[in-house]
Structures are given as C-alpha cells and as structure tokens.
Amino acid sequence: MGIAPGGQMRQEVYRDRYGLDVWDRTHTSRCFVHLCNSMVWQSITGKRPPYPPPTAKSYSAAGLPWFDYYRDDVTALTGSKTLDDLKSVTLISQSKGDKALPEKRGARPELRPNPSPR
C-alpha cells in the first residue's frame, strides 16, 4: 500500500486460498480513512502531536508491533502494469522545475495550551 509512488510503505497481495464462493458478497460496508500531517493534528484532535514522532525502537519498547511482514509459504501476486507508470511526487515536482518538500521533514508542534476539543 502506498499513498504515492516512491513511498516507503509496501504491501503484498496473495491469492485467496478459499475462493469467491465462501465470501458473502451481498453485504458491504465502507470505511473512511482521513490522513493528516502534524501541522493540522492539534486542530483536529485538540491535542499536540507526539514529538518526536514514534520510532521502531519506541514502538518495541511499548510492546507494540513494528515489523516487516514476511510470508515464505506463499508467493505474492504481481503488481499492476498500469501502476508501474505512476511517478512519485518528487519526480513530478522535479519535472516541473519545482523543489519538492525535504524528505522526512516533520513539524515541531507549538508548545501552547491545548484548545478545547470540538
């Protein structure tokens, strides 16, 4: 999975070993995921974002999973050829002569009282 090409997230998709006949395809649901950066976190939640951002070490220290998912018993499906042609935000920016945002640059939250939550 990735937000834009060139990102660091990866996803592997495996063939369904059960087939379509076992799934109830008559009932559906929706899930909305909203992404925000550290600059707007406080206005949405009423709380300051964690600073510095959590690392693999801090996740491990808290007993939370931080790992590279690996399956050696199945083979991942090949990706879409259509998606192979997508360009990263950095490449698009460079092709226009723009300077892309610095890699992995975070915003330090302001140290002021939390606003009242909405």
User: 6: pLDDT confidence band, cut at 50, 70 and 90?
Assistant: low
Q: Please, where are the H alpha helices in the chain?
A: 38-45, 56-61, 81-84, 89-95
Instruction: Compute φ and ψ for 97, nearest 5 degrees.
Output: 85, 10
Q: Which of 14-18, 21-25, 111-115 has the highest mean predicted lDDT (pLDDT)?
A: 21-25
Does the pLDDT value for residue 45 go beyond 60? yes
Would you kindly state where each structural domain of the chain is located, as residue ranges?
Answer: 32-95
pLDDT digits (tens, 9 = 90+) for 84-118: 788 877 788 888 888 765 555 554 555 444 444 44
- Where is average pLDDT lowest: 12-21, 27-36, 59-68, 90-99? 59-68
Is pTM beyond 0.95? Reply is: no
